[in-house]
Each structure stands twice: as C-alpha cells, then as structure tokens.
Chain A
Amino acid sequence: MLPEAISAMTEELAQLGNPSSLHNAGRRARRVIEESREQLAEVFGARASEVVFTGGGTEADNLAVKGLFWARRGADARRTRVLTTAVEHHAVFDSVRWLCDADGAVADWLAVDGRGLLDPAVLRTALARDPASAAVVSVMWANNEVGAVQPVVSLAAVAREFGVLFHTDAVQAAAQLPVDFAASGVDAMSVTAHKLGGPVGVGALILSRGAAPVPVQHGGGQERDIRSGTLDTPAIRAFAVAAVASARRREAEALRVGALRDDLIRQVLLAVPDAVLNGPPPGPQRLPGNAHFSFPGCEGDALLLLLDARGIACSTGSACTAGVAEPSHVLLAMGADESRARGSLRFSLGHTTTQADIDALGACLGEAVTRARRAAGAATR
C-alpha cells in the first residue's frame, strides 16, 4: 500500500460511525464516503453518482456480468447471449460460465489473436449475426497475464451501435493506463483498490445511469439499491487516496516501469535466447509493467521455485484451490499448446521495482532455466 493510503486508512479506523446512520458520527462517515466517491469519480472520468462501491474487483465483475445479464433478459427473454473473450480474468470468465451452466445463458467466446487482442470486427460480426439475442458484452480493458490492452473504445462503440450494454474489467488497467469512463463509452467498469496502492477488499463498479443491474446480494441497499452491505469507510477513504496518488504519478511511473520492463525483456532474451515473449510487443497495446514469457522445455512451477529461492517472485498464472498449477486459459486461448502454456512465467513490475531487481533476474535466470529443463526431462521418464 502507498504510505499515504495507509495513514488515511489507519486514521479512519480510529473513527466511529456507520455511514448509513443519521446521527452525527454517521454523518461524518457519510461525508468521508461521498468525498471519496467524488475523488474516485474524478480520477476515473465518471460522475460521483456512477460509482458503486463493492468489496473488490471480483464482486464488481460478478455484479456487472450477472446483474446486467439478468436485467436485460428480464426485460426481454430473447436476450440470452453473453459476448466475451476466453482471456478474461476468472471473475468474469467463471461468472459467464456459471450463467451458462446454471441460468440458461449462451456464451459467445470471441476469438482473440495470437497476441491476446480482440479485433472490433470480430465483435461486430458476432453481434450482427443475431443482435436481438445479445444481453451484454464484457471485455477486459487490459489482460492481467499477458498485458494485452484491448481497443476498448472501439469495442464499446460497436456494442453501442447494436444497443447492447458493454462492461469492462479495468482492474489491471487502472493503475497503469489513463482510464476514463466517460470518454471510453463503456456502460460499466470494474476497478479495485489494491492494484492502485490501496487496501485489498474494496473496489467499485462504475455504472452509467442507464445501466441497472439486478443485485447479486440483497440487504440494506446501501449503494443505489444495487449493492447491499455496510460501507467500509476506512477502506474507501484509502481507496480514494491511493487512486488520487496513483493517478498523479501514473504517467511518470509508466515511463519508468516501461523502461525497466524493456530492459527485463532484453536481459531475459539474452539469458535464454529461445524464450518467447507472449502478448503484444512493448508499446501502447501492452501494459508497461507486464512481461510474460514461455520458456520452451521448462515447467513454469519448477522455474518459479528456483527463482523464488533467489528472492525473485513471479507467477505462473492461475492456480486451482489445491495449488496445482494449471495451464493458463489465457495462453491456451491465444493458441499456445499445453506444454508452452505450462512453461510460462509472468513478471510484474510496480512502484517498488528497481533496476537492481531486473539485474538480479538477468543474473540467475539462465541457470534456473537449465535446471528446470533438466527437471522436465526427469519428469518425462
């Protein structure tokens, strides 16, 4: 967490007051909430009334995907189609799958290209095939694994042409890219605090006034009767402080981190010449803090163990509940085969990353890959 977010949060933790209460302490808390809402709205290019607080990005995604689907199908029973991609975060991906398995939805998994990008023409074709059956479109702003930045503005414009609501999961994009809700033309957008240097467990669904999702959870109706649950004043305060600070630093930080990332790519390819960079090339189509490689002949979890032992934290993608590494659904959707998907690692760079970190990786990666290859050879015996 950013230091200013920590101090805002701890200060607020010492205060009393439920923002829904009408007494003095409640009013004080309500004021903190509303000021935070206004600050967040400004950061994300939205109106304050469009910000619906949630318990994080996953809840925001569930509310958008399920809630908007239920609302549209409720109004018109023919609208059963959800259009999305196979590279979405599990919060969207599994919500769509659940709607299909349990609630009669039909998913249109729009094909991405080898870089993980969705061509707006693909969305247009899918919508044009049967516009009256479309309930909602959900396409992430930027991919959390391979860093692909989708052409959200063009995609949202296509959805609008057909009168279909467009949701985007901007959880990963919000910290690194200028994310402007109004200018993007989307109807709903998920964000979360901890990607911006705020606390975990708080986020928001930014909703245009025309979008009225059916609630996923019921209760006091605190947030526009769309989201129930007592608002977490300290976390929301820290969310806003972090978002403001992150927005202020974003441009300079993106340049700094992007340069480090470019050097990381250079050093990785130097140490392991046959490594393959997954996702779009560095540039506007890729998050500056993301690098993602396939190391042929390696298992990602063996590499992770070896690098972890040298103080380098990286990630293989998704893990199931038991902690068994599964091949990334993102890479599979981009056309990778299972062995390439299993031999992949993501390196994320952030505000604490330094040149020394990159150099440390460059120094030990070659040996780690050699060992991991030997281990993979042992495993196939």
Chain B
Amino acid sequence: MGLRVLAAMSGGVDSATAAARAADAGHDVTGVHLALSQNPQSYRTGARGCCTLEDARDARRAADVIGIPFYVWDMADRFKRDVVDDFVAEYAAGRTPNPCLRCNEKIKFEAVLDRALALGFDAVCTGHYARIDPDRGALLRAADEGKDQSYVLAVLTSDQIAHALFPLGDTPKKQVRVEAAERGLLVAEKPDSHDVCFIADGDTQGFLARQLGTAPGPIVDVDGTVLGSHNGAYGFTVGQRKGLRVDRPAPDGNPRYVLSIEPVSNTVTVGPAAALAVSEITATRPVWTGCPPPLAPVECSVQLRAHGEVYPCVAWLDGGELAISLRAPARAVAAGQAAVLYDGATVLGSATITATR
C-alpha cells in the first residue's frame, strides 16, 4: 500500500523526476508548486529563480505529463518571514546565512510538511540529492557526490526526515536528465538553478544594500589600525579577499582577507591568510539524527559550508552547545553557516556556527 505523498515541484528537472518516481513506486502523489515570491517575475532571468510564472508553468506541465493532481500553494508570506527576512537579519548581525538550508528547515519540511500532514498526506517528496537510511532513519550523502545536498538538509530533525522522500538520492544527476527525457518531461534540459532564488539578478550585495541601507564604518587590521572604510559591514563574508578597497598594501605584500565582522561597532577586520585558520568551532542549536546526542566526544568529520571540504574532527556537547576541535585547521569559517557532522556518508547531526578560534 503506497503512501499519500505531496511532491514539492519547483519547475525543475529534479523535483519533476522525483515526483514521477514516487508515483511509479505506487504512492498516491499530488504535486504542489510553492509560490514563494510576493512579486513573481514573468520570466526567468537566466537560469535563476524558483518562483517565476514560467517555473510554475513548467511544474504544472510536468505534473500533467506524470498524470498527478497539481496545485499552487502560496507560501510567500512564510518565505519572506522565515527565509528572506532571516537572511537579511543574519547578514546585519555579521553572520553568513545559508537560505537554502533555512528554506528546507522552515518552509519545505515545516510549513509545507505540517500542512500536508494536516490534510492527510503521509510524506513530502522533493528532488534533493540525499538518501535516507531505511533502518535507522538517518540522512546519508547522495550517491552522486558532486550533487550531494545532505549538507542543506542536515538541519532536519528525525521527525522531519521520517516524513521525507528523496527518490533521487541513489542516482547521478546525468542519469536523472536522461530519465526525465525518457519520461517526456519537458524540463529534462532545463539548466540547474544557482545562487539565491529570491535575488533575481544574483547581486547579493545590491540586495542587502537596498534592504539595510548604507552604514559606513572602518576596515581595520588586527592591531586596530584603520586601513579604509566600507559602506556596510553586512557586505562582507569571512574569508573574502576581493572588493576590500584597502588603500595601503600589507607590509609583507601578501593579500588581505576578511577575518571578522563586528556588527555593533560596524567594523570589518582584515588580515593575512594565516589568520583565517580555524581549529576550534562553537555551534548552537544542535540536531542529532544519525546518533543519539553524544555523551562523550565523538570522532567524526565536519563540513562547514555547502560543497565545502570535509575536516576530521572531535565533537562534543558543551552544555547545550556543540564544540568541535578540528584535527587540522580549516580556512575561512563563517558564523551563520551550518557545521554538519558526518560519519562516512552518514549525517550524525548539525548545528549553526556561532564562534571560531
């Protein structure tokens, strides 16, 4: 007996193929396109965006081809509150958020899942590349490591994962495109979406400047010497090298990088690459899905940004916070990003980075 499955369909090839696979697997599938923009663009600008009218049409066409009912759910208010406003507030606080992760946590697997469950559905299906261990209910990396999206799903709780379906986790993206074409899905050749979907022109700095206004402040070196000025500390990310507009070169002639962003004094501190090295990380709001909350330090590995490197580490709980000690230093770790702990391909848990040393 199949499940009653709500397939979130963005209008892209992945979610369309995922919905088709769920239907093939014998589930009773209903497609839903989430309208997330308060002012939907009529047409895509480039390949960006997941909430244009054209994307809604692509999703509807795919549902028609698969032969499933299809609806549009207006989640624009929730999306603005939980993703867009949060994104802006995080930057304003000197952190670097990941809005895709936030959208999975608050929209797809909270707002949508809650509504789906209330309406009598059993699960929400998406086109994410990740697998779920059927025995333990743990989240696993996708078979296609280049496409793996377990990092942006690692914020999900065990309960959320228990109601999730990721039919593409075992398949390389290339093969998904071939399969979509064989199924007659017209989005088979549609380019992947990139960047932040609610910033249509891809200009994050411009978007933040419009939201937050200009707030000039100093750029200083580690000694506190003022090297230049900026129009808003929110415009910087730890590890950033370009666009610093520092007049004087460093004494040693080496490039400078953003080391930290201090929102209260509106100060951006820059320094040499060596100063970006981080070996201790503190992270908040830990979620454990691949193991119980550990009572003793755990030997594992950690990923610190989407598609980022994986570092061997020891992790333990310190009060309610997660403490991570890296075996070898990592470079440019930004507060606001998720620290996701892995044991091999298994996601053990995740937490949001608050401080680094």
Contact = CB atoms under 8 A, between A and B. Distances in A.
Contacts of A309: 30, 69
Contacts of B53: 321-322
Contact of B35 (A322, A375, A381): A322
A323 B117 contact: no
A372 interface: yes
Contact of A374 (B40, B111, B118): B118
Nearest to A302: B119
B316 interface: no
Nearest to B119: A375
Contact of A305 (B40, B69, B76, B78): B69
Contacts of A374: 118-119
Nearest to B110: A381
A322 B40 CA distance: 8
Given A301-B71, A322-B40, A323-B60, A371 B35 contact: no
A324 interface: yes
B35 A378 contact: no
B69 A308 contact: yes
Interface in A308-330: 308-309, 321-325
A181 B196 CA distance: 57
A321 B118 CA distance: 27
B321 interface: no
Interface string B58-83: 00100000000101111010100000
A372 B120 CA distance: 9
Interface string A256-289: 0000000000000000000000000000000000
A366 to B, nearest CB: 14
A375 B118 CA distance: 5
B12 to A, nearest CB: 16
B118 A323 contact: no
B119 A305 contact: yes
Contact of A378 (B30, B33, B74, B114): B114
Closest 7 CB pairs of A and B: A323-B72, A375-B118, A378-B114, A374-B118, A324-B74, A378-B118, A322-B56
Interface of A: 301-302, 304-306, 308-309, 321-325, 371-372, 374-375, 377-379, 381
12 contacts: A301-B73, A302-B115, A305-B30, A305-B119, A322-B53, A324-B74, A371-B120, A374-B119, A375-B119, A378-B114, A378-B115, A379-B111
